[in-house]
Structure 1
Amino acid sequence: MMGVEFLEIIDLDDARRITGELFSELYSQGTESVDILDADGRVLADDIESPVDLPPFDRASRDGYAVRAADTFGADEENPATLRCIETVEAGSVPSLEVAEGLCTRISTGAPVPEGADAVVMVEYTWEEVDRVYIQRPAYPSQHIAARGSDIRAGNVLLRTGTVLSPDKIAALSAAGITRVNVISKPSVCVISTGNELIEPSGQLEPGKIFDSNSAGLSSALKEAGCSVKHGGIVRDDYGELRDAILRGLEEADMVITSGGTSAGAGDILSEVLDELGRVVIHGISIKPGKPTIVGVVDDKIVVGLPGFPVSALIVFMSLIEPFIRKLSGRKASSGHVKTLKLAERLHSSRGRVHYALVMVDGDYARPIFKDSGAVAALAGADGYIEVPKNVEIINEGEEVEVVLFENR
């Protein structure tokens, strides 16, 4: 069977506009409540106010003695102030006696400061004999005391909407006694790889076969963008099998992303399947690599057909699809991980098409990787890519370029 022809090839800007309109039309952010023990990496859907003052009481920030600062004025090593110790307060316990004139309390870091005391003298500047404590340095009011609410007051915002919950943020929530939070729901995406030549990486490599790399690569990129991933497995270039796999994916997930089966060659039948099940909105984008990319809609859900070559699949995903998925999942755009570098070698581009060129970062230079989009070594050695505008044919050595980094995106 001869393959279908491309629809009208469109510019990348038009493809981004159309794709963005589809996401806005078909999807909206959802929210859910989760236990903070399961909240790592999730995005807050609401501002979080502290239900308590932090710290919840005046507490010592050093080991030493809680004193009245006035009782220590003028103290030095030659003429130490002499106070009587009336009790010991450890972290987790509560003082029972008030510190009056001439008295002090032995206190541990984190323990509540007793009534009457307004300073803590570090143990290093004291010595003790029986119940007498000798203070060698004067204290000032509030010294080494974290006042109640000095960190945050009850009712004040602790974390803002859109915050990604990392370990430090989760610790802060726990410190305020918060155990559940509202977060933005993760979009679910089913990933399918197509091609008679593909086998699972765990399988035995045979003549004419290659390992499927797109499932793992795209799944990783989707998780980083805030999605949950469903695995649709490998599907042969068979109309019925692909149709059934897409329908299963649409039942399980909010979106389906396939790789392979998008060009206008024999055996590439994704466009025909989408025509039957729904509609093809984009088939062909003026970019290199990635021209045969397909975007369709089935049952009010987006189905994306990425090229089969790993370089093409990942770059088209990151440049065309990922920004809208990040917005849906509440994640910030990855554009912050862009580095301005000088081009290490002259680069030729195809005029009339946006060209994505893989590069290695070498100090202050971006070194182009001159391999085709099917070369696995190109991905292994790449640190990022540059987007060459469609009206640029040559970028000369030494010119500054914007490199979108793969790592820490």
Structure 2
Amino acid sequence: MGKEFLKIKESGDAKKIIGDLFEKYYPPESESVKLSDSLNRVLFNDIESRIDFPPFNRALKDGYAVKVEDTYGASEESPNIVKIVDVVEAGDFSDKTLKLGECIQISTGAPMPEGAEAVEMVEFTDLDDEGNVNLFKSLTPTQEIGQKGSDIKKGNKILSKGELLTPSKIGVIAAQGISEVDVYKKPKVGIISTGNELLDNDELIIPGKIYDVNSDMLKTGADAAGSDAKTLGIIKDDYDSIKNKINSSIKDFDVVLVSGGTSAGVGDNLRSILDELGCVYIHGITVQPGKPTLVGVIDGKIVIGLPGNPVSALVIFNMFVVPSLEKLAGIKVDENKNTFTGPITKRIHSPIGRMQYQLVRIKNDGVEPIFKDSGAIFSLATADGYTKVDKNIELVDEGEIVTVTLFK
């Protein structure tokens, strides 16, 4: 007798249910992190400039701060001569007020002295033995000077809520003297693998056993979706063991992913556990691969049962779980950037009544289907993504144009 799917859902309905559950139980929250730890985090609030930047008029080039009148008519054939009265390096300042006939030697980034109107670049000068400077170029007011607030004025918005923090944006924030930022809090995801046949990667392989693929695969996928994920080990196909592990896990994690083993009845165990401890919202989705997918809630925490086969688990995770994790983490995704459109190179036969997610690779600007079963883990290594075949379509013929959702 086959499994009885009690709450089987269409693909679109399942996506909506999962999305609604995330919105109901997990409103977006913020946390404060050190700026040095904020790479690839998402801003929770707008950031306004605390100061003018630059905070003072500064020299843009090494040279001499001068009165522009002292440069009028200057040339290599007929230089104008001014006297050095001070030297100012970056990080220092001069307390002198510049007068006609004087100059102050200045380094790039140093604050302009009082009375100085421009910077004669060192390339257009010559220093004589008596401490005087020959000026060879006529200047205009503010030439080679970065004006106070020319980059950003105090109180202006410099970054917006929802922006992904990159090194350059972190640099902009650092220039404001900000050491901590409010970012979207990462959802905490716990990952449990179940199956009597599973081994940890450091165990010796023996007949009848296989290594646990899903734990590390799902953890890295969840991390890439903006989560803080942790693998919680392998649990045998035993009702009480699985129940106790889920019970303990929901105390520490927002979302618990449970990938099933291949032993008979594992899916029913998880369904019964969710029924006992909480509520089942989805038991089966009309897709291939990945029909035996479970979604439930226990004590306000979402528990998702994924298929044990790695290909099925990854496809279901990417299609139905990742969008909600990314939204909770504040990550905005441009769907068009993660797709490829091209002709299919081999025909695809699809079961009527179930949405099919067909693994494919991009080859010579075409889309080549990968025809292997859902347990063929090495097909993932060669796949660039998958294309969807609608439940009402039985055949996609060679040459038809399809859209591929690319693995990130």
What interval of TM-score do these two structures reach, taking the shorter chain for normalisation?
over 0.9
Q: Any idea what the Cα deviations from partners look like across 1:235-293, whole Å, max 9, x if unmatched?
A: 11110110011011101111111111599x43432111111111211011111111111
What is the rounded CA distance, in whole Å, between the counterparts of 1:384 and 1:356 in structure 2? 9
Match of 2:339? 339
Gaps of 5+ in 1: none
Match of 1:165? 165
Match of 2:256? 256
Is 1:140 the equivalent of 2:140?
A: yes
Is 1:381 the equivalent of 2:379?
A: no
Aligned-pair CA distance for 1:344: 4.6
What is the rounded CA distance, in whole Å, between the counterparts of 1:297 and 1:270 in structure 2? 12
Match of 1:94? 93
Match of 1:55? 54
CA spacing shift, 1:389–1:142, aligned 2, 3 Å: farther
The answer to whether the Cα contact below 8 Å between 1:26 and 1:300 also exists between their aligned partners in 2 is: yes
What is the rounded CA distance, in whole Å, between the counterparts of 2:50 and 2:242 in structure 1? 52
What is the rounded CA distance, in whole Å, between the counterparts of 2:176 and 2:142 in structure 1? 23
Aligned-pair CA distance for 1:37: 2.5
CA spacing shift, 1:146–1:309, aligned 2, 3 Å: same
What is the rounded CA distance, in whole Å, between the counterparts of 1:172 and 1:55 in structure 2? 12
Percent identity of paired positions between Structure 1 and Structure 2: 47
Aligned-pair CA distance for 1:213: 1.3
What is the rounded CA distance, in whole Å, between the counterparts of 2:378 and 2:334 in structure 1? 24
Match of 1:23? 22
Q: Any idea what the Cα deviations from partners look like across 1:329-355, whole Å, max 9, x if unmatched?
A: 111136243233313512313332221
The one-letter amino acid paired with 1:304 is: I
CA spacing shift, 1:60–1:393, aligned 2, 3 Å: farther
What is the rounded CA distance, in whole Å, between the counterparts of 2:389 and 2:73 in structure 1? 72
What is the rounded CA distance, in whole Å, between the counterparts of 2:356 and 2:141 in structure 1? 66
SS at match of 2:142: coil
Aligned-pair CA distance for 1:179: 1.2
Matches within 5 A, 1:226-265: 226-261=226-261, 265=264
The answer to whether the Cα contact below 8 Å between 2:260 and 2:266 also exists between their aligned partners in 1 is: no
The one-letter amino acid paired with 2:26 is: Y
The answer to whether the Cα contact below 8 Å between 1:262 and 1:271 also exists between their aligned partners in 2 is: no
What is the rounded CA distance, in whole Å, between the counterparts of 2:75 and 2:372 in structure 1? 75
Q: Any idea what the Cα deviations from partners look like across 1:126-173, whole Å, max 9, x if unmatched?
A: 221132222222222222211111111111112211122222222222
Aligned-pair CA distance for 1:296: 0.8
Match of 1:351? 352
What is the rounded CA distance, in whole Å, between the counterparts of 1:67 and 1:397 in structure 2? 75
Aligned-pair CA distance for 1:401: 2.6
What is the rounded CA distance, in whole Å, between the counterparts of 2:301 and 2:20 in structure 1? 13
SS at match of 2:162: coil
Match of 1:280? 280
Matches within 5 A, 1:190-269: 190-261=190-261, 265-268=264-267, 269=269
Q: Could you say what the CA RMSD is over the residues aligned between the two structures, in angstroms?
A: 2.0
The one-letter amino acid paired with 1:43 is: V
Match of 1:361? 362
SS at match of 2:251: helix
Aligned-pair CA distance for 1:28: 0.8
Aligned-pair CA distance for 1:81: 2.7
Aligned-pair CA distance for 1:404: 2.0
Aligned-pair CA distance for 1:34: 2.1
CA spacing shift, 1:108–1:213, aligned 2, 3 Å: same
Aligned-pair CA distance for 1:56: 0.8
SS at match of 1:337: helix
Match of 2:403? 402
Aligned-pair CA distance for 1:317: 0.9
Gaps of 5+ in 2: none
Q: Any idea what the Cα deviations from partners look like across 1:78-123, whole Å, max 9, x if unmatched?
A: 2233222222111011112222222222111111111122222222
Is 1:44 the equivalent of 2:58?
A: no
What is the rounded CA distance, in whole Å, between the counterparts of 1:271 and 1:207 in structure 2? 30
Which stretch of structure 1 is more off in the superposition, 41-50 or 281-290? 41-50
- TM-score (normalised: structure 2): 0.94
Q: Any idea what the Cα deviations from partners look like across 1:154-204, whole Å, max 9, x if unmatched?
A: 111122111222222222222111112222211111110111111111221
CA spacing shift, 1:391–1:102, aligned 2, 3 Å: farther
Which stretch of structure 1 is more off in the superposition, 106-115 or 65-74? 65-74
Aligned-pair CA distance for 1:369: 1.8
Aligned-pair CA distance for 1:363: 4.7
The answer to whether the Cα contact below 8 Å between 2:284 and 2:292 also exists between their aligned partners in 1 is: yes
What is the rounded CA distance, in whole Å, between the counterparts of 1:347 and 1:214 in structure 2? 30
Which stretch of structure 1 is more off in the superposition, 138-147 or 344-353? 344-353
